[in-house]
Structure 1
Protein backbone atom coordinates (compact mmCIF):
# COMPACT_ATOMS: atom_id res chain seq x y z
CA UNK A 1 0.00 0.00 0.00
CA UNK A 2 1.46 3.32 -1.00
CA UNK A 3 0.85 6.06 1.54
CA UNK A 4 0.46 9.63 0.42
CA UNK A 5 0.73 12.86 2.34
CA UNK A 6 -2.54 14.48 3.35
CA UNK A 7 -2.85 18.17 2.60
CA UNK A 8 -3.45 20.63 5.42
CA UNK A 9 -6.27 23.09 4.85
CA UNK A 10 -6.87 26.43 6.53
CA UNK A 11 -9.44 24.86 8.88
CA UNK A 12 -6.95 22.31 10.22
CA UNK A 13 -7.27 21.90 14.01
CA UNK A 14 -4.06 20.21 15.17
CA UNK A 15 -5.10 19.88 18.83
CA UNK A 16 -8.36 18.14 17.89
CA UNK A 17 -6.52 15.77 15.57
CA UNK A 18 -3.92 14.98 18.24
CA UNK A 19 -6.66 14.32 20.78
CA UNK A 20 -8.56 12.06 18.38
CA UNK A 21 -5.39 10.10 17.58
CA UNK A 22 -4.50 9.82 21.28
CA UNK A 23 -7.99 8.62 22.20
CA UNK A 24 -7.78 5.66 19.82
CA UNK A 25 -4.98 4.26 22.01
CA UNK A 26 -3.89 2.22 18.98
CA UNK A 27 -1.10 4.52 17.78
CA UNK A 28 0.75 4.13 14.47
CA UNK A 29 0.15 0.39 14.15
CA UNK A 30 -3.56 1.11 14.55
CA UNK A 31 -3.41 3.53 11.61
CA UNK A 32 -1.58 0.97 9.47
CA UNK A 33 -3.96 -1.83 10.50
CA UNK A 34 -6.91 0.42 9.60
CA UNK A 35 -5.49 0.79 6.08
CA UNK A 36 -4.48 4.45 6.27
CA UNK A 37 -3.83 5.82 2.78
CA UNK A 38 -2.57 9.29 3.71
CA UNK A 39 -0.10 10.37 6.34
CA UNK A 40 -1.89 12.56 8.87
CA UNK A 41 -0.74 16.18 9.22
CA UNK A 42 0.12 15.60 12.89
CA UNK A 43 3.20 13.78 11.57
CA UNK A 44 4.34 16.73 9.41
CA UNK A 45 7.10 19.03 10.59
CA UNK A 46 6.14 22.67 9.99
CA UNK A 47 8.41 24.15 7.34
CA UNK A 48 10.13 26.46 9.81
CA UNK A 49 10.85 23.58 12.26
CA UNK A 50 11.86 20.89 9.80
CA UNK A 51 15.01 19.29 11.17
CA UNK A 52 18.06 20.20 9.15
CA UNK A 53 20.13 17.32 7.87
CA UNK A 54 23.48 17.41 9.58
CA UNK A 55 26.70 16.17 8.09
CA UNK A 56 28.20 15.91 11.57
CA UNK A 57 29.53 12.44 12.18
CA UNK A 58 29.49 11.18 15.71
CA UNK A 59 30.57 7.97 17.29
CA UNK A 60 28.34 6.20 19.79
CA UNK A 61 30.46 5.64 22.90
CA UNK A 62 31.00 2.01 23.88
CA UNK A 63 31.02 1.30 27.62
CA UNK A 64 32.83 -1.92 28.49
CA UNK A 65 31.59 -3.16 31.86
CA UNK A 66 34.62 -5.44 32.18
CA UNK A 67 36.93 -2.43 32.10
CA UNK A 68 39.19 -2.05 35.09
CA UNK A 69 39.16 1.75 34.70
CA UNK A 70 35.97 2.48 36.62
CA UNK A 71 36.47 6.26 36.88
CA UNK A 72 37.04 6.50 33.11
CA UNK A 73 33.96 4.36 32.44
CA UNK A 74 31.82 6.52 34.75
CA UNK A 75 33.04 9.67 33.01
CA UNK A 76 32.19 8.19 29.58
CA UNK A 77 28.66 7.37 30.79
CA UNK A 78 28.22 10.84 32.29
CA UNK A 79 29.49 12.58 29.15
CA UNK A 80 27.48 10.40 26.74
CA UNK A 81 24.31 10.87 28.80
CA UNK A 82 24.71 14.64 28.98
CA UNK A 83 25.87 15.31 25.43
CA UNK A 84 24.61 12.53 23.20
CA UNK A 85 21.83 10.77 25.10
CA UNK A 86 22.98 7.33 23.98
CA UNK A 87 25.76 4.84 24.54
CA UNK A 88 26.33 1.12 23.95
CA UNK A 89 27.11 -1.25 26.80
CA UNK A 90 29.23 -4.35 26.11
CA UNK A 91 30.42 -7.20 28.30
CA UNK A 92 27.37 -6.83 30.56
CA UNK A 93 26.91 -10.56 31.02
CA UNK A 94 23.42 -10.78 29.51
CA UNK A 95 23.39 -13.60 26.93
CA UNK A 96 22.50 -12.62 23.35
CA UNK A 97 19.70 -15.21 23.44
CA UNK A 98 18.03 -13.31 26.31
CA UNK A 99 18.34 -9.97 24.49
CA UNK A 100 16.93 -11.51 21.28
CA UNK A 101 14.03 -13.04 23.21
CA UNK A 102 13.29 -9.70 24.90
CA UNK A 103 13.15 -7.98 21.49
CA UNK A 104 10.83 -10.72 20.18
CA UNK A 105 8.52 -10.31 23.19
CA UNK A 106 8.26 -6.55 22.65
CA UNK A 107 7.48 -7.20 18.98
CA UNK A 108 4.77 -9.66 20.05
CA UNK A 109 3.42 -7.06 22.47
CA UNK A 110 2.88 -4.66 19.57
CA UNK A 111 1.27 -7.43 17.48
CA UNK A 112 -1.33 -8.24 20.15
CA UNK A 113 -4.98 -7.33 19.92
CA UNK A 114 -5.56 -3.60 20.42
CA UNK A 115 -7.75 -4.17 23.46
CA UNK A 116 -4.88 -5.89 25.31
CA UNK A 117 -2.43 -3.09 24.48
CA UNK A 118 -4.92 -0.38 25.48
CA UNK A 119 -4.67 -1.64 29.06
CA UNK A 120 -1.08 -0.36 29.11
CA UNK A 121 -1.72 2.90 27.25
CA UNK A 122 -0.85 5.93 29.34
CA UNK A 123 0.55 9.44 29.13
CA UNK A 124 1.46 9.37 32.83
CA UNK A 125 5.23 9.95 32.86
CA UNK A 126 5.48 8.55 36.39
CA UNK A 127 4.15 5.14 35.30
CA UNK A 128 6.67 2.29 35.45
CA UNK A 129 5.01 0.65 32.41
CA UNK A 130 3.70 2.53 29.41
CA UNK A 131 2.54 2.00 25.85
CA UNK A 132 2.06 5.11 23.75
CA UNK A 133 3.20 7.00 20.70
CA UNK A 134 5.11 10.15 21.57
CA UNK A 135 5.50 11.07 25.24
CA UNK A 136 5.57 14.73 24.13
CA UNK A 137 2.61 14.40 21.77
CA UNK A 138 0.91 17.65 22.71
CA UNK A 139 4.06 19.80 22.76
CA UNK A 140 6.18 18.54 19.85
CA UNK A 141 5.90 20.20 16.43
CA UNK A 142 5.36 16.79 14.77
CA UNK A 143 4.76 13.24 15.93
CA UNK A 144 7.25 10.49 15.24
CA UNK A 145 6.03 7.54 13.19
CA UNK A 146 6.52 4.99 15.96
CA UNK A 147 4.87 3.21 18.85
CA UNK A 148 6.63 2.70 22.16
CA UNK A 149 6.37 0.25 25.02
CA UNK A 150 8.70 0.92 27.90
CA UNK A 151 9.23 -0.31 31.40
CA UNK A 152 11.37 1.25 34.08
CA UNK A 153 13.12 -1.62 35.81
CA UNK A 154 15.31 0.29 38.27
CA UNK A 155 15.51 1.20 40.99
CA UNK A 156 12.12 -0.40 41.73
CA UNK A 157 10.66 -2.64 39.02
CA UNK A 158 6.89 -2.99 38.81
CA UNK A 159 5.40 -6.18 40.27
CA UNK A 160 5.53 -8.99 37.65
CA UNK A 161 1.74 -9.26 37.52
CA UNK A 162 1.55 -5.64 36.27
CA UNK A 163 3.75 -6.39 33.25
CA UNK A 164 2.13 -7.51 29.99
CA UNK A 165 1.76 -11.27 30.11
CA UNK A 166 3.63 -11.66 26.83
CA UNK A 167 6.69 -9.86 28.29
CA UNK A 168 6.38 -10.90 31.90
CA UNK A 169 8.97 -13.66 32.20
CA UNK A 170 11.71 -12.17 30.05
Structure 2
Protein backbone atom coordinates (compact mmCIF):
# COMPACT_ATOMS: atom_id res chain seq x y z
CA UNK A 1 0.00 0.00 0.00
CA UNK A 2 2.88 2.36 0.79
CA UNK A 3 4.32 1.86 -2.66
CA UNK A 4 0.96 2.69 -4.23
CA UNK A 5 0.81 5.89 -2.21
CA UNK A 6 4.21 6.91 -3.54
CA UNK A 7 2.76 6.99 -7.03
CA UNK A 8 -0.34 8.97 -6.10
CA UNK A 9 -1.23 12.05 -8.12
CA UNK A 10 1.09 14.88 -7.00
CA UNK A 11 -0.39 17.74 -5.01
CA UNK A 12 -1.76 20.45 -7.30
CA UNK A 13 0.51 23.51 -7.28
CA UNK A 14 -1.83 26.38 -8.10
CA UNK A 15 0.82 29.07 -7.77
CA UNK A 16 3.07 27.26 -10.26
CA UNK A 17 0.24 27.14 -12.82
CA UNK A 18 -0.62 30.80 -12.22
CA UNK A 19 3.00 31.86 -12.62
CA UNK A 20 3.44 29.88 -15.85
CA UNK A 21 0.25 31.39 -17.29
CA UNK A 22 1.25 34.90 -16.26
CA UNK A 23 4.77 34.61 -17.65
CA UNK A 24 3.46 33.26 -20.96
CA UNK A 25 1.64 36.62 -21.47
CA UNK A 26 -0.83 34.91 -23.81
CA UNK A 27 -3.92 35.72 -21.75
CA UNK A 28 -7.11 33.70 -21.84
CA UNK A 29 -7.56 34.62 -25.50
CA UNK A 30 -4.30 32.85 -26.22
CA UNK A 31 -5.54 29.82 -24.33
CA UNK A 32 -8.83 29.84 -26.25
CA UNK A 33 -7.02 30.12 -29.58
CA UNK A 34 -4.66 27.27 -28.72
CA UNK A 35 -7.52 24.83 -29.24
CA UNK A 36 -7.96 23.68 -25.64
CA UNK A 37 -11.12 21.66 -24.95
CA UNK A 38 -10.93 22.01 -21.16
CA UNK A 39 -9.88 24.98 -19.05
CA UNK A 40 -6.81 24.92 -16.78
CA UNK A 41 -7.56 24.09 -13.16
CA UNK A 42 -6.62 27.60 -11.99
CA UNK A 43 -9.77 28.93 -13.70
CA UNK A 44 -12.20 26.49 -12.07
CA UNK A 45 -14.30 28.19 -9.40
CA UNK A 46 -15.62 26.78 -6.16
CA UNK A 47 -18.87 24.76 -6.06
CA UNK A 48 -20.41 27.64 -4.06
CA UNK A 49 -19.66 30.16 -6.82
CA UNK A 50 -20.72 27.81 -9.62
CA UNK A 51 -23.98 26.83 -7.93
CA UNK A 52 -24.89 30.52 -7.75
CA UNK A 53 -24.59 30.96 -11.51
CA UNK A 54 -28.05 31.78 -12.74
CA UNK A 55 -29.88 29.02 -14.51
CA UNK A 56 -31.70 29.91 -17.75
CA UNK A 57 -35.12 31.45 -17.31
CA UNK A 58 -38.01 29.04 -17.59
CA UNK A 59 -40.87 30.07 -19.80
CA UNK A 60 -43.03 30.65 -16.73
CA UNK A 61 -40.65 33.20 -15.18
CA UNK A 62 -41.03 36.92 -15.64
CA UNK A 63 -37.85 38.33 -17.12
CA UNK A 64 -36.71 41.54 -15.48
CA UNK A 65 -34.71 44.31 -17.11
CA UNK A 66 -32.70 47.13 -15.60
CA UNK A 67 -34.28 50.57 -16.20
CA UNK A 68 -33.86 52.16 -19.64
CA UNK A 69 -33.67 55.97 -19.56
CA UNK A 70 -33.93 58.43 -22.46
CA UNK A 71 -31.55 61.37 -21.94
CA UNK A 72 -33.02 63.46 -24.77
CA UNK A 73 -34.84 65.70 -22.27
CA UNK A 74 -31.64 66.67 -20.41
CA UNK A 75 -31.90 70.32 -21.53
CA UNK A 76 -35.70 70.52 -21.44
CA UNK A 77 -36.93 73.13 -18.92
CA UNK A 78 -40.25 71.28 -18.56
CA UNK A 79 -39.16 67.62 -18.63
CA UNK A 80 -35.76 67.60 -16.94
CA UNK A 81 -37.33 67.03 -13.52
CA UNK A 82 -38.89 63.81 -14.82
CA UNK A 83 -35.44 62.69 -15.96
CA UNK A 84 -34.02 63.46 -12.52
CA UNK A 85 -36.75 61.33 -10.93
CA UNK A 86 -36.11 58.45 -13.31
CA UNK A 87 -32.37 58.49 -12.56
CA UNK A 88 -33.01 58.74 -8.82
CA UNK A 89 -35.48 55.86 -8.84
CA UNK A 90 -33.19 53.67 -10.95
CA UNK A 91 -30.14 54.39 -8.81
CA UNK A 92 -31.93 53.93 -5.49
CA UNK A 93 -33.53 50.61 -6.43
CA UNK A 94 -31.21 49.03 -9.00
CA UNK A 95 -27.90 50.92 -8.87
CA UNK A 96 -27.78 50.26 -12.63
CA UNK A 97 -29.55 51.63 -15.69
CA UNK A 98 -29.11 51.93 -19.44
CA UNK A 99 -29.27 55.23 -21.33
CA UNK A 100 -30.21 56.08 -24.91
CA UNK A 101 -30.03 59.43 -26.75
CA UNK A 102 -26.87 60.16 -24.76
CA UNK A 103 -25.24 62.23 -27.50
CA UNK A 104 -22.45 59.87 -28.58
CA UNK A 105 -22.78 59.19 -32.34
CA UNK A 106 -23.28 55.56 -33.29
CA UNK A 107 -20.16 55.50 -35.52
CA UNK A 108 -18.08 56.44 -32.46
CA UNK A 109 -19.60 53.57 -30.47
CA UNK A 110 -18.96 51.10 -33.30
CA UNK A 111 -15.41 52.33 -33.88
CA UNK A 112 -14.60 52.07 -30.16
CA UNK A 113 -15.80 48.45 -29.97
CA UNK A 114 -13.99 47.53 -33.19
CA UNK A 115 -10.75 49.16 -32.00
CA UNK A 116 -10.71 47.32 -28.64
CA UNK A 117 -11.50 44.08 -30.44
CA UNK A 118 -8.67 44.81 -32.88
CA UNK A 119 -6.24 45.25 -29.99
CA UNK A 120 -7.18 41.90 -28.46
CA UNK A 121 -7.11 40.22 -31.88
CA UNK A 122 -3.47 41.17 -32.44
CA UNK A 123 -0.79 38.47 -32.45
CA UNK A 124 0.60 37.51 -29.07
CA UNK A 125 4.01 38.99 -29.78
CA UNK A 126 2.45 42.41 -30.46
CA UNK A 127 0.16 42.51 -27.41
CA UNK A 128 2.74 41.07 -25.04
CA UNK A 129 4.81 44.28 -25.28
CA UNK A 130 2.13 45.94 -23.16
CA UNK A 131 1.73 43.03 -20.71
CA UNK A 132 2.48 44.04 -17.13
CA UNK A 133 1.35 43.18 -13.62
CA UNK A 134 3.12 45.94 -11.72
CA UNK A 135 0.37 47.71 -9.76
CA UNK A 136 2.59 50.79 -9.54
CA UNK A 137 3.01 50.96 -13.29
CA UNK A 138 0.36 53.16 -14.80
CA UNK A 139 -0.25 54.72 -18.16
CA UNK A 140 -1.03 51.68 -20.31
CA UNK A 141 -1.23 48.09 -19.05
CA UNK A 142 -2.42 44.88 -20.74
CA UNK A 143 -2.94 41.85 -18.51
CA UNK A 144 -5.26 39.00 -17.62
CA UNK A 145 -6.98 39.18 -14.21
CA UNK A 146 -6.03 42.17 -12.08
CA UNK A 147 -6.03 39.96 -8.96
CA UNK A 148 -4.54 36.84 -10.56
CA UNK A 149 -2.20 36.05 -7.67
CA UNK A 150 -4.72 36.85 -4.92
CA UNK A 151 -7.98 35.41 -6.21
CA UNK A 152 -8.92 31.86 -5.27
CA UNK A 153 -9.72 31.19 -8.92
CA UNK A 154 -8.89 33.12 -12.09
CA UNK A 155 -11.61 34.51 -14.35
CA UNK A 156 -11.98 34.22 -18.12
CA UNK A 157 -11.04 37.69 -19.40
CA UNK A 158 -8.16 39.86 -20.60
CA UNK A 159 -7.97 43.63 -20.15
CA UNK A 160 -6.33 46.72 -21.61
CA UNK A 161 -6.13 49.56 -19.06
CA UNK A 162 -5.42 53.16 -20.04
CA UNK A 163 -5.20 55.87 -17.37
CA UNK A 164 -6.58 59.16 -18.72
CA UNK A 165 -6.53 61.32 -15.55
CA UNK A 166 -5.22 62.75 -13.27
CA UNK A 167 -1.98 63.98 -14.76
CA UNK A 168 0.43 61.79 -12.78
CA UNK A 169 -0.68 58.34 -14.04
CA UNK A 170 -2.11 59.64 -17.33
CA UNK A 171 -0.95 57.71 -20.39
CA UNK A 172 1.01 59.62 -22.98
CA UNK A 173 -1.01 59.51 -26.17
CA UNK A 174 1.88 57.95 -28.08
CA UNK A 175 2.02 55.11 -25.52
CA UNK A 176 -1.56 54.01 -26.23
CA UNK A 177 -1.52 51.08 -28.70
CA UNK A 178 -1.78 52.52 -32.18
CA UNK A 179 -4.52 50.09 -33.21
CA UNK A 180 -6.95 51.73 -30.74
CA UNK A 181 -5.28 55.04 -29.85
CA UNK A 182 -7.57 57.45 -31.71
CA UNK A 183 -10.69 55.58 -30.61
CA UNK A 184 -9.73 55.48 -26.90
CA UNK A 185 -9.00 59.21 -26.87
CA UNK A 186 -12.37 59.90 -28.55
CA UNK A 187 -14.24 57.52 -26.24
CA UNK A 188 -12.76 59.18 -23.15
CA UNK A 189 -13.88 62.59 -24.37
CA UNK A 190 -17.42 61.46 -25.24
CA UNK A 191 -17.94 59.31 -22.14
CA UNK A 192 -16.79 62.21 -19.93
CA UNK A 193 -19.56 64.42 -21.34
CA UNK A 194 -22.11 61.71 -20.57
CA UNK A 195 -20.71 61.30 -17.06
CA UNK A 196 -20.83 65.05 -16.45
CA UNK A 197 -24.53 65.09 -17.39
CA UNK A 198 -25.27 62.06 -15.22
CA UNK A 199 -23.46 63.53 -12.22
CA UNK A 200 -25.64 66.63 -12.55
CA UNK A 201 -28.79 64.52 -12.57
CA UNK A 202 -27.58 62.43 -9.63
CA UNK A 203 -26.82 65.60 -7.65
CA UNK A 204 -30.24 67.07 -8.39
CA UNK A 205 -31.83 63.76 -7.41
CA UNK A 206 -30.42 64.26 -3.91
CA UNK A 207 -31.76 67.81 -3.77
CA UNK A 208 -28.31 69.41 -3.85
CA UNK A 209 -26.79 71.76 -6.42
CA UNK A 210 -26.20 70.28 -9.86
CA UNK A 211 -22.41 70.71 -9.66
CA UNK A 212 -22.06 69.01 -6.26
CA UNK A 213 -20.69 65.64 -7.42
CA UNK A 214 -18.50 67.26 -10.06
CA UNK A 215 -17.04 69.64 -7.48
CA UNK A 216 -16.19 66.70 -5.24
CA UNK A 217 -13.82 65.57 -8.01
CA UNK A 218 -15.64 62.67 -9.68
CA UNK A 219 -14.35 63.69 -13.13
CA UNK A 220 -10.74 64.06 -12.01
CA UNK A 221 -9.83 60.36 -11.98
CA UNK A 222 -10.46 58.49 -15.25
CA UNK A 223 -9.51 54.97 -16.24
CA UNK A 224 -10.56 53.44 -19.58
CA UNK A 225 -10.66 49.63 -19.61
CA UNK A 226 -11.22 47.44 -22.66
CA UNK A 227 -12.19 43.89 -21.65
CA UNK A 228 -12.22 40.84 -23.91
CA UNK A 229 -14.12 37.69 -22.87
CA UNK A 230 -13.18 35.09 -25.49
CA UNK A 231 -14.75 31.73 -26.27
CA UNK A 232 -14.65 29.44 -23.22
CA UNK A 233 -14.82 25.65 -23.73
CA UNK A 234 -16.25 25.06 -20.22
CA UNK A 235 -18.27 28.14 -19.24
CA UNK A 236 -20.09 26.19 -16.53
CA UNK A 237 -16.83 25.85 -14.54
CA UNK A 238 -15.66 29.48 -14.48
CA UNK A 239 -16.85 33.09 -14.78
CA UNK A 240 -15.91 36.02 -16.98
CA UNK A 241 -15.50 38.34 -13.99
CA UNK A 242 -16.44 37.48 -10.43
CA UNK A 243 -19.14 39.32 -8.51
CA UNK A 244 -17.97 42.75 -7.38
CA UNK A 245 -18.96 46.39 -6.92
CA UNK A 246 -17.34 49.46 -8.48
CA UNK A 247 -16.06 52.59 -6.75
CA UNK A 248 -17.34 55.78 -8.41
CA UNK A 249 -19.41 56.22 -11.59
CA UNK A 250 -19.03 53.71 -14.42
CA UNK A 251 -20.06 54.23 -18.06
CA UNK A 252 -20.03 51.00 -20.09
CA UNK A 253 -20.21 50.28 -23.81
CA UNK A 254 -20.67 46.63 -24.83
CA UNK A 255 -21.03 44.70 -28.05
CA UNK A 256 -24.01 42.43 -28.66
CA UNK A 257 -22.55 39.41 -26.84
CA UNK A 258 -24.29 39.36 -23.46
CA UNK A 259 -23.07 38.01 -20.17
CA UNK A 260 -23.32 40.96 -17.77
CA UNK A 261 -25.56 40.27 -14.78
CA UNK A 262 -26.72 42.56 -11.98
CA UNK A 263 -27.77 41.46 -8.48
CA UNK A 264 -31.29 42.69 -7.76
CA UNK A 265 -32.61 41.55 -4.41
CA UNK A 266 -31.77 37.85 -4.25
CA UNK A 267 -31.64 37.19 -7.98
CA UNK A 268 -29.29 37.82 -10.86
CA UNK A 269 -30.72 39.75 -13.79
CA UNK A 270 -29.28 39.75 -17.31
CA UNK A 271 -28.33 43.13 -18.77
CA UNK A 272 -29.42 42.64 -22.36
CA UNK A 273 -27.28 44.56 -24.86
CA UNK A 274 -29.29 47.28 -26.58
CA UNK A 275 -27.74 48.66 -29.79
CA UNK A 276 -26.59 52.23 -29.21
CA UNK A 277 -27.26 52.18 -25.47
CA UNK A 278 -24.75 52.71 -22.65
CA UNK A 279 -24.93 50.96 -19.29
CA UNK A 280 -24.34 53.05 -16.18
CA UNK A 281 -23.81 52.08 -12.57
CA UNK A 282 -22.78 53.80 -9.37
CA UNK A 283 -20.15 52.50 -7.00
CA UNK A 284 -19.44 52.27 -3.29
CA UNK A 285 -18.15 55.83 -2.86
CA UNK A 286 -21.34 57.35 -4.29
CA UNK A 287 -23.43 55.07 -2.05
CA UNK A 288 -21.49 56.37 0.96
CA UNK A 289 -21.63 60.04 -0.07
CA UNK A 290 -25.37 59.77 -0.80
CA UNK A 291 -25.87 58.22 2.66
CA UNK A 292 -27.56 55.19 1.06
CA UNK A 293 -29.98 57.23 -1.06
CA UNK A 294 -28.20 55.58 -4.00
CA UNK A 295 -27.00 51.99 -3.93
CA UNK A 296 -23.96 50.25 -5.32
CA UNK A 297 -24.81 46.71 -6.37
CA UNK A 298 -22.92 43.54 -7.18
CA UNK A 299 -22.47 42.57 -10.80
CA UNK A 300 -20.55 39.93 -12.72
CA UNK A 301 -19.95 38.60 -16.21
CA UNK A 302 -20.59 35.00 -17.20
CA UNK A 303 -18.16 33.01 -19.30
CA UNK A 304 -19.68 31.91 -22.60
CA UNK A 305 -19.17 29.27 -25.25
CA UNK A 306 -20.05 31.68 -28.07
CA UNK A 307 -17.40 31.88 -30.77
CA UNK A 308 -17.74 35.66 -30.87
CA UNK A 309 -15.93 37.33 -27.97
CA UNK A 310 -17.70 39.70 -25.63
CA UNK A 311 -16.09 43.14 -25.86
CA UNK A 312 -16.78 45.82 -23.28
CA UNK A 313 -15.27 49.27 -22.82
CA UNK A 314 -15.66 51.12 -19.54
CA UNK A 315 -14.68 54.50 -18.24
CA UNK A 316 -14.36 54.51 -14.47
CA UNK A 317 -14.82 57.99 -13.01
CA UNK A 318 -13.34 58.42 -9.55
CA UNK A 319 -11.86 61.04 -7.25
CA UNK A 320 -8.59 62.28 -8.69
CA UNK A 321 -7.02 63.14 -5.33
CA UNK A 322 -4.57 60.88 -3.54
CA UNK A 323 -4.09 63.31 -0.65
CA UNK A 324 -4.65 61.93 2.83
CA UNK A 325 -5.81 65.37 3.98
CA UNK A 326 -9.05 65.32 1.96
CA UNK A 327 -11.88 63.60 3.78
CA UNK A 328 -15.08 62.36 2.18
CA UNK A 329 -18.31 61.11 3.71
CA UNK A 330 -22.09 61.56 3.55
CA UNK A 331 -22.99 65.01 2.25
CA UNK A 332 -23.85 67.32 5.19
CA UNK A 333 -26.90 68.62 3.27
CA UNK A 334 -28.45 65.15 3.49
CA UNK A 335 -28.07 64.78 7.24
CA UNK A 336 -30.47 65.67 10.05
CA UNK A 337 -31.30 64.35 13.54
CA UNK A 338 -33.75 62.00 11.84
CA UNK A 339 -31.24 61.00 9.16
CA UNK A 340 -27.81 60.68 10.75
CA UNK A 341 -24.65 59.76 8.85
CA UNK A 342 -24.50 56.04 8.15
CA UNK A 343 -20.77 56.20 7.37
CA UNK A 344 -17.68 57.82 8.85
CA UNK A 345 -15.40 60.03 6.79
CA UNK A 346 -12.51 58.48 4.86
CA UNK A 347 -9.63 59.45 2.59
CA UNK A 348 -8.96 58.17 -0.92
CA UNK A 349 -5.63 56.58 0.14
CA UNK A 350 -7.64 54.56 2.67
CA UNK A 351 -10.03 53.49 -0.07
CA UNK A 352 -7.23 52.50 -2.47
CA UNK A 353 -5.39 50.59 0.23
CA UNK A 354 -8.55 48.56 0.84
CA UNK A 355 -8.86 47.89 -2.91
CA UNK A 356 -5.23 46.79 -3.23
CA UNK A 357 -5.65 44.44 -0.28
CA UNK A 358 -8.97 42.99 -1.38
CA UNK A 359 -9.04 43.36 -5.18
CA UNK A 360 -12.38 42.76 -6.84
CA UNK A 361 -14.84 42.22 -4.03
CA UNK A 362 -18.27 43.24 -2.89
CA UNK A 363 -18.79 46.03 -0.41
CA UNK A 364 -15.80 45.45 1.88
CA UNK A 365 -15.07 49.19 2.02
CA UNK A 366 -18.73 50.09 2.57
CA UNK A 367 -18.78 47.71 5.53
CA UNK A 368 -15.48 49.07 6.82
CA UNK A 369 -16.68 52.69 7.10
CA UNK A 370 -20.21 52.02 8.35
CA UNK A 371 -20.90 53.82 11.60
CA UNK A 372 -23.33 51.12 12.72
CA UNK A 373 -22.25 47.54 12.04
Q: TM-score, normalising length from structure 2? A: 0.37
Rg comparison, structure with higher value: 2
Alignment correspondent of 1:4: none
Q: Structure 1 pair 63/125, CA: closer, same or farther in 2 (3 Å)? A: farther
Gaps of 5+ in 2: 1-8, 56-61, 75-79, 184-373
* Bigger RCO (CA 8 Å, 6+ sep): 1
Pair 1:23 & 2:34 matched:
no
SS in 2 for 1:134: coil
Gap change, CA 1:13 and 1:159, over 3 Å in 2: same
* 1:97–1:37 distance in 2 versus 1, CA, 3 Å: same
Is the CA contact (8 Å cut-off) linking 2:140 and 2:160 kept in structure 1? yes
Aligned to 2:154: 143
| Deviation of 1:92 (Å) | 2.4
Aligned to 1:32: 32
Question: 1:110 touches 1:117 (CA, 8 Å); kept in 2?
Answer: yes
**Alpha carbons 1:61, 1:76 under 8 Å: kept:** no
Deviation at 1:72, TM superposition (A): 4.2
Question: Secondary structure at 2:21's aligned position in 1?
Answer: helix
Deviations 1:57-90 (A, max 9, x none): 653344544432475476468658xx65x54333
Q: TM-score of the superposition, structure 1-length normalised?
A: 0.74
- Is the 1:49–1:141 contact (alpha carbons within 8 Å) kept by the matching residues of 2? no
When the two chains are superposed, the root-mean-square deviation of aligned CA atoms in Å is 3.0
Alpha-carbon distance in 2 for matches of 1:23, 1:99: 33
User: What is residue 163 of structure 1 aligned with on the other side?
Assistant: 176
The residue correspondences of 1:111-122 to structure 2 (distance < 5 A) are 111-122=121-132
Contact persistence 1:109–1:166 (CA under 8 A): yes
Distance 1:155 1:58 in 2: 38
